[in-house]
Structure 1
Amino acid sequence: MKSLSKVEVKGLEALFYDELISLISGFTYKNFLNVILNACEGSSVKMNEIGRNYSIVDYGCGSGMALCKFAELSQGQIIGFDIGKTMLYRAYKKCKSYKNVKIFYHDIRVSSPFLVDKVFISFVLHGFDHKDRLKIIKNAYSNLKPNGEFCILDYNEFDFDSKPFWFRKLFNHFECPLAVEFINTPIKEILRSVGFKSFYEYYYYKGLVRLLVAKK
């Protein structure tokens, strides 16, 4: 698993993660994150209605970028899970002024007792094999209240082999073999098999990235 996945960020990459993401995205990531939150308004639990009551768990919260955004919108409980010590340190430091944010060292393949309105996961699911993805999806379903929503921001499904050589070369350089397998996986079918009943989809970066919102 460790040899195939690049999901856990360590070392210098973890120390400068925000800066690297900004650079790789052409300095668009902060605005992109705002767009993602606005896209969530199309779901039944609107982000601009979070105000006082809605709770959120971020699976693989990393350096806490999304956690801080959620905390700005919600006075409800905001929870972050991660296993990267450097990333957790950055998230703690970044979110320390938000009293409703709680961050835990926790492997998302293991169940947790929280019950929330939304589970959010950003560019994490593709870094696990099928067996572990299924565990994560089942855990998300268990963590959600009735009518709660699982928000998956990750690569869209597309024909990898039909992409230009330069694209495949870059993708294979920066991503792991599990990511290539992920883009050919019918995630909605897996979500339906677990119990999710309806979906919203939003596409970005010329359709290569998708926000998939699955309703319990």
Structure 2
Amino acid sequence: MKKLGLIGGTGPESTVIYYDRVLRGIQEATGTDVVAPLTIENLSYLEVFEYMGAGDLAGLTTYLLGGIRSLADAGCDLAAMTAFTTHAVFDRVAADSPIPLVSAVDATVRASAAYETVALLGTEFTMTSTFVSAPIEATGTRCVTPNAEEISYIQRKLTEEIEKGVIRRETIDGVAAIVERLAAEEGAQLAILGCTELPPLFDGVDLAIPKLDTIDAHVADLVTAVT
């Protein structure tokens, strides 16, 4: 079995989910109670937001590569980033990484390819950039995003509440209303939870359309890669 490394802390809530789902996924895949070898390098979503806010993709790449190299030094055979936003520089990081990286975006593209129109939710940087929407649309699927006011609302809620583990009913309802509008006005058939902090927000909550938990899609690829 290969040793997996995770870049965590970007944010902390999703890192915990990844840890649990990866370990349980490997146990299910192997039919054993094995506790798989895994190392987490804890970076910071605050640093990531600062780099992205300044448009400093080179700085973000260097920051993430430092974490990846630490994972390689810890004996990891492959690695993954537990945040969607950091995938804005995935190709840059992968090009200089000493170990293979498994992409959450690739997993998401495959999982959404059967739909005609999907709605992409995430951080402001994810929703206003093309590193997720472009590969989705390359498969023939239309990808829509919230409007500027809605994007600002989601980013504020992520920063002030969700990244800190705070889940409020009014926030669930607020983001759910955005999904409902995108379904009604844009014809969205699937809501992509393109920030790995969003699945906990909608745990056990039905939206106007089916939702894609991108952590599940990514973890499935990770389990396959290590077993």
Could you tell me the TM-score, scaled by structure 2's length?
0.39
- Higher normalized helix content (fraction of residues): 2
Could you tell me the TM-score, scaled by structure 1's length?
0.40
- Higher normalized strand content (fraction of residues): 1
User: Which one has more relative contact order, counting CA pairs under 8 Å at least 6 apart?
Assistant: 2
